[in-house]
Amino acid sequence: MSAVSHRTRLTVVPSYRIAIGRGLSILAALSIVAITLAAMGRSPIELAGLVVRSTVGSRFGIEDLALFMTPLMLTGAAVWVGIRVNLWNIGAEGQLYAGATAATAIGLFTHWPAFVALPAMIVAGMLAGAAWIFVPAAARAWLSVSEIVTSLLLNFVASLLVYYLATGPWADRVTGALASTERLHMAFPEFWGAVHLGFILALATVIGLGVGLAKSRFGYETAVCGSNPQAAHYAGIGVAPRILAVLLLSGALAGLAGVFEVAGTVHRLQGGLANNYGYLGIVVALLARGSCLALIPAALLMALILDTGIVLQTTQISSSAVLAITGLLVLAIAAGDELAAYVRVNRT
Amino acid sequence: MALLSDLLGHAVLSGSVLALGALGEVIAERAGVLDLGVEGLMSLGAVVAVMTVTATPHPWLGLLAAGLVGGLGAGVLALSSVVLRANQVLCGVAITFLGLGLSSVIGRSVAGIPISAVFEPVSIPVLSSIPVIGPAFFSQNVLVYLIYLVLPALVHFWMFRTRSGLDLRAVGENPAAADAVGVPVMRLRALAVILGGVLAGLAGADLTLAVVPVWSDGMIAGRGWIAVALVIFAGYRPVVAVLSGLLFGLVTAVGFMGQARGWPIAPAILNTLPYLGTVACIIVPMLAFAKLRSAMAAPAALGTPYYRSGR
């Protein structure tokens, strides 16, 4: 009558297990951060209090969170549409720059009224983002060249080109500001403090994307291509064009993030504009898992972490600490999600 | 003539960082683990080497410390992506975040301060007096000789001429079959990731102790990612990976030369060369030679965690 217990791995993991796993992972990551801070001679509790007060504790803090969330929701969506079909676009940073550059071109060199210029910026930015990923996407679709490395390497190119534009041909000659263009002639209207229309549009994009992919033929066919390319091929679905389409969509979403960032939040094109939003989009997509709508709370969590970074910076801790904290969090959550799939089974 | 020699010398030097990183990545990927933590581990290695050398003026100690830190970081990666079988792309990106962030935090005290204890060039008698290639290839620091001659030969011999090398490749191609004949899949994969991490850490130390003798935030600037790309370009072959490191050193050197000699091209544009060159080099051969696609194919199980019960 001895009970043999062993562990088995679930193929479909119930969400409560994921929730528990994530709770524990986040707790573990935060504990490591707290212990490290304590070892550096800082009081983690005091810092945590400071973080809470300067984020959700004030009007400014909440506005800041919304501004951070805007690009994060979109870069998160960009990475998410790829992961959904087993494609990894880790070049959202570059596509964001491309979108921002296209929007800046319209913002600097036209004097169109806002109701023409703003939609034009959105279209141009999305096209630019899609164009930036076109070569890696086509190479992945038809030549099976891994999109991971190619999309990533173009980030460095985009960042260098934006730096070149902002300090060279497009540099601000009016106020002589360092390393940025002059202020764009038009901006997305602000409706609540510094929070601009881009926030609403980003929310709407995420919701629209979730509904669209769940209900449309395109969403279904790409999902089939992602989970079993051979089955898709035999069912008469052309895999390569759909891989291309998904990656172009991904690039367009990241480009849109760039449009809102430059024409809503920052108002000038400058080096470092992307602020790691492209990379953090990977984290947002990881947190959201299978659900598109979950991108919204995931972006909120990531925005909180970014704000934490700013708070840490004011207390003489390098702002890069936030990158390390993010890495730790991703590691913990990725491992936690996997561990949550194991259940103990008793056999007699 | 002096220009060509300078160019080659610079190519050999800056290519050594990429070659070493790519060599480590070949080992990990041959075992079936897509290790995307190279950029972060290189960064940690670079800063730890500088910190060690600032404390004790021995470049060898700095190198050792960087290797240890690289191995330690890769141990975390092995634990999460091999033992716990979490998604390899996510774990790798997380290690890169962690490495970049951590190295920036701990490197604040040494940032921007040039170090004095570096690996000095060693001229090989006779060979170093050959015109043009003599100064470029045979009066470099000792790491260059290790990276271009000793290490690739060792790794190649291990991978293709020994039993454990065969096991390593089997684990990357078909872990279930390897498991069935008694090869410890998880242990070999973890070992390969850690070894790759040690080499990534050493590559970072090579950068700060032999190429650019100062730590500054963001100085790795994608070298780790280029190393990952070179592995694809090299078709997962150790010797070819090292040679392609040299090729990309040359691309970097051309940009550097352009800057130094004041070519009428903005430095930012010249700096895009290595990245664009890498992208072109992994796409164009596939486009041009369809036959290459099978010869250069990735290990069959690359990126997939191994579950013994999985069917």
A144-158, A307-321, B2-16, B54-68: least confidently modelled range: A307-321
- In B189-228, the residues whose Cβ lies within 8 Å of chain A are 217, 221-222, 225-226, 228
Amino acid code (one letter) for A68: F
| Closest listed residue to residue B246, CA positions, set B57, B16, B4, B9 | B16
pLDDT, tens digit, 9 for 90 and up, residues A118-127: 999 999 999 9
**B171: burial class by Cβ within 10 Å (0-12, 13-18, 19+)?**
buried
* Alpha-carbon Rg for chain B in angstroms: 19
Whether A318 and B99 lie within 8 Å, measured CB to CB: no
Q: Name the more confident of B147 and A176.
A: B147
Confidence bin at A5 (pLDDT 50/70/90):
low
Amino acid code (one letter) for A70: T
Q: Which of A76-85, B137-146, B293-302 has the highest mean pLDDT?
A: A76-85
B94 interfaces chain A, CB cutoff of 8 Å: yes
CA A162/CA A93 separation, integer angstroms: 12
Cα distance from N-terminal residue to C-terminal residue, chain B? 61
Question: In this structure, what DSSP letter does residue A110 have?
Answer: -
Q: Which two tokens stand for residue B306?
A: 């191994």
All residues of chain A having their beta carbon less than 8 Å from the beta carbon of residue B272 are 156-157, 160-161
CA B299/CA B31 separation, integer angstroms: 8
Q: What pLDDT is attached to residue A215?
A: 93
CA B50/CA B116 separation, integer angstroms: 10
pLDDT, tens digit, 9 for 90 and up, residues B228-273: 999 988 989 999 999 999 988 998 888 878 877 777 888 888 889 8
Instruction: For chain B, give the percent of residues with pLDDT over 70.
Output: 99
Confidence bin at A140 (pLDDT 50/70/90):
very high
| Closest listed residue to residue B138, CA positions, set B126, B128, B148 | B128
CA A328/CA A31 separation, integer angstroms: 11
Q: What pLDDT is attached to residue A177?
A: 62
Calculate the average pLDDT of chain B: 89
Q: What pLDDT is attached to residue B134?
A: 72
Contacts 24+ apart (CB under 8 A), A202-206: A202/A69, A202/A70, A202/A71, A202/A73, A202/A74, A202/A256, A202/A257, A202/A260, A203/A73, A203/A296, A205/A73, A205/A74, A205/A77, A205/A253, A205/A256, A206/A73, A206/A74, A206/A77, A206/A292, A206/A293, A206/A295, A206/A296
CA B80/CA A336 separation, integer angstroms: 10
- Nearest residue, CB atoms, A339 vs list B84, B91, B104: B84
Residue A146 has pLDDT above 80, yes or no: yes
Q: What pLDDT is attached to residue A37?
A: 84
| Closest listed residue to residue B273, CA positions, set B293, B256, B290 | B256
**What residue in A sits closest to B267 (Cα-Cα)?**
A164
Confidence bin at A176 (pLDDT 50/70/90):
low
Helix (H) or strand (E) holding A327: helix A321-339
Mean pLDDT value of segment A50-75: 89
Shortest distance, CA A220 to any CA of chain B (angstroms): 24
Q: Enumerate residues 6+ apart whose C-beta is below 8 A from A103.
A: A121, A122, A124, A125, A184, A258, A259, A262, A263
Question: In this structure, what DSSP letter does residue B209 have?
Answer: I
Q: What pLDDT is attached to residue B180?
A: 92
Give the Cβ contact number of residue A65 at 10 Å.
18
CA B19/CA B7 separation, integer angstroms: 17
- A43-316: CATH, from 1.10.3470, 3.40.630, 1.10.260, 1.10.10: 1.10.3470
Mean pLDDT value of segment A203-216: 95
B74 interfaces chain A, CB cutoff of 8 Å: no
A26 interfaces chain B, CB cutoff of 8 Å: no
Residue A322 has pLDDT above 90, yes or no: no
Q: Enumerate residues 6+ apart whose C-beta is below 8 A from B69.
A: B41, B44, B45, B48, B201
Under DSSP, is residue B82 helix (H, G, I), strand (E, B) or coil? helix
A24 interfaces chain B, CB cutoff of 8 Å: no
Confidence bin at B311 (pLDDT 50/70/90):
very low
Q: Enumerate residues 6+ apart whose C-beta is below 8 A from A213.
A: A81, A84, A219, A222, A223, A292
Mean pLDDT value of segment A326-330: 90
Q: Which residue has the tokens 């790491």?
A: B143
Calculate the average pLDDT of chain A: 89
Strand-pairing partners, residue B122, are B140
Residue A32 has pLDDT above 80, yes or no: yes
CA–CA distance from B124 to each of A300, A311, B135, B142 (Å)?
Answer: 60, 54, 9, 10
CA A327/CA B102 separation, integer angstroms: 10
In this structure, whether the domain defined by B2-295 belongs to CATH 1.10.3470 is answered with yes
Mean pLDDT value of segment B110-115: 88
Size of interface A-B (CB pairs under 8 A): 143
pLDDT, tens digit, 9 for 90 and up, residues A79-106: 999 999 989 999 999 999 999 999 999 9
CB B8 within 8 A of CB B137: yes
Question: In this structure, what DSSP letter does residue B79 have?
Answer: I
Q: Which two tokens stand for residue A297?
A: 């709370």
CA A76/CA A259 separation, integer angstroms: 15
A231 interfaces chain B, CB cutoff of 8 Å: no
Q: What pLDDT is attached to residue A61?
A: 85
CB B63 within 8 A of CB B53: no
Residue B157 has pLDDT above 50, yes or no: yes
Mark out the alpha helices in chain B (DSSP H runs): 2-30, 38-55, 59-78, 88-106, 133-138, 142-145, 151-161, 163-173, 175-180, 185-206, 223-233, 238-260, 267-271, 273-288, 292-295
A211-225, A328-342, B280-294: least confidently modelled range: B280-294
Q: What pLDDT is attached to residue A83?
A: 93
User: Please, what's the b/e burial string for A34-44 (b: 16 or more CB within 10 A of its CB; e: otherwise)?
Assistant: bebbeeeebeb
Q: Which two tokens stand for residue A153?
A: 């390497």
Confidence bin at B1 (pLDDT 50/70/90):
low
Longest dimension (CA), chain B: 63
Query: What secondary structure does DSSP assign to A9-64, as a single string?
Result: E-SS--HHHHHHHHHHHHHHHHHHHHHHHHHTT--HHHHHHHHHHHTTTSHHHHHH
All residues of chain B having their beta carbon less than 8 Å from the beta carbon of residue A155 are 222
CA B39/CA B92 separation, integer angstroms: 9
Q: What pLDDT is attached to residue A347?
A: 63
User: Please, what's the b/e burial string for A131-154 (b: 16 or more CB within 10 A of its CB; e: otherwise)?
Assistant: bbbebbbbbbbebebbbbbbbbbb
Residue A141 has pLDDT above 90, yes or no: yes
| Closest listed residue to residue A172, CA positions, set A107, A125, A229, A222 | A107
CA B300/CA B213 separation, integer angstroms: 40
All residues of chain B having their beta carbon less than 8 Å from the beta carbon of residue A331 are 76, 80, 86, 91, 94-95, 98
A223-232, A312-321, B154-163, B233-242: least confidently modelled range: A312-321
CA B24/CA A197 separation, integer angstroms: 48
Mean pLDDT value of segment A18-38: 89
Mean pLDDT value of segment A271-299: 90
Helix (H) or strand (E) holding A311: helix A295-314
B303 interfaces chain A, CB cutoff of 8 Å: no
Amino acid code (one letter) for B233: F
Residue A348 has pLDDT above 60, yes or no: no
CB B53 within 8 A of CB B117: yes
Q: Which two tokens stand for residue B219?
A: 């100085």
Question: In this structure, what DSSP letter does residue B306 have?
Answer: -
Confidence bin at B88 (pLDDT 50/70/90):
very high
A231-245, B98-112, B276-290: least confidently modelled range: B276-290
Confidence bin at A4 (pLDDT 50/70/90):
low
